[in-house]
Amino acid sequence: MQNLSQIYDVDLKLLRCFCTIVEEGSFTAAQATLNLSQSMLSEYLKSLEIRLGTRLCQRGPKGFKLFREGELVYEAAKDLFASVEAFRQRASNLTEKAERELVIGIQDNIVDNPRSRVAEAIGRFEEYYPNVRFRVEVMLGFQLTGRLADGLVHVGVGIVNDHFQQLSAEYLFDEQAWICCAPEHPLFGVPDAEITPEQIASAAYAHRGNHEFYHPDRVRNEAGRGDIGHGAQAHLVLILSGRNIGYVPDHVAQAYFATGQLRPLRPDITRLVNPISAITGPSTADFKLARRFVDCLVDLHMEAAEAAPAKLPPPVRRSERAPAYAAKPRSEPAVIEKNRVAQPC
């Protein structure tokens, strides 16, 4: 690769586009994220390759593939942007009156949780720092932890991933989930008293891809995997289809229990409680605004818990009668990991 004697603003723009292509995994997905046409995106990538003097990736009919040179440029670009963001954060602390930006990432399925107080925290924070502009994005769990670790998100609200040891977390509230199935699934019409752990273990399990940490053994075992849903809604639709069982958060599942579109399977052994936390990365230690927003989050959730102690409710569903139509059998076995499953209430 050529030696760059100087980096210009246009180089940063090209590098950001390239990083987005890599993170989205394809030109098509990057188009939607960047709001650019495919021809323009291709032109930007070509310009970057000319500037660096090397090809970074394969694109075309054979699909997108990152070359070794592309991997090196991507890692270097992430370090560059993290350093720029760290400088911006430190510079923003010099004056209280300047307009600043606070980037908040929220894991999907959390905003609509009745125990969440994120919106209230933004309102309270605005009372003390009216000149701060918020940039909020709802994203997948692995995207959230990755961007926090890279310094691209200041504060995240979600489930802590233990693989990222450099992240810090402050507890906010608990999210309860159940393994559920839909009427077309073979287990839907079977009473809980007749369902064995082995039946649950052998059912195809809808998971969230390589970043699944509810049941990592199912993800590593290719033969036991069910369908993959990237995102809360994608994951839910796979369970509603009847092809898979899978975890559904309580606040989402209750409406489907009431209409008979879902039922929990053996809640006494499949109930799962995940702590939702305010998460920060290493670069946030020097960013006062991010620390203050975490304080607002923690205070509001503590106040809500003290005002109305939250007891996680049991699942509410229709009677366990058999479905009116024949259920379709599944042939793919799966292995369930139980060490993350809570004990019976």
Whether the pLDDT of residue 185 is over 80: the answer is yes
- State whether 46 and 71 are in the same domain: yes
- State whether 285 and 149 are in the same domain: yes
Helix %, strand %, coil % of the chain (to 5)? 45, 20, 40
Domain that holds residue 59: 9-88
Please tell me the predicted confidence (pLDDT) of residue 27: 84
- On whether the CB atoms of residues 284 and 291 are closer than 8 A, the answer is yes
Q: Specify the pTM.
A: 0.64
pLDDT tens track for 55-79? 998 887 777 888 999 899 999 998 8
pLDDT tens track for 245-303? 999 999 999 999 999 999 999 999 999 999 999 999 988 877 889 999 999 999 999 99
- State whether 161 and 301 are in the same domain: yes
**CATH number of the domain bearing residue 110:** 3.40.190.10
pLDDT tens track for 127-145? 999 989 999 999 988 889 8
- State whether 13 and 84 are in the same domain: yes
- On whether the CB atoms of residues 252 and 113 are closer than 8 A, the answer is no
Please tell me the predicted confidence (pLDDT) of residue 315: 58
- State whether 265 and 283 are in the same domain: no
Asked whether residue 77 is assigned to any structural domain, the reply reads yes
- State whether 283 and 257 are in the same domain: no
What is the count of structural domains for the chain?
3
- State whether 181 and 262 are in the same domain: yes
Query: Which region holds residue 60: left if phi is over 0, alpha if psi is between -120 and 50, else beta?
Result: left
| Average predicted confidence (pLDDT) for the chain | 81
- State whether 148 and 280 are in the same domain: yes
Residue that is last in its domain, among 88, 118, 147: 88
pLDDT tens track for 82-130? 888 777 766 666 555 455 889 999 999 999 999 999 999 999 999 999 9
Asked whether residue 312 is assigned to any structural domain, the reply reads no
Asked whether residue 287 is assigned to any structural domain, the reply reads yes
Range list of β-strands (E), the chain: 57-58, 65-66, 100-107, 132-139, 155-159, 168-181, 205-207, 225-228, 246-249, 263-264, 272-280
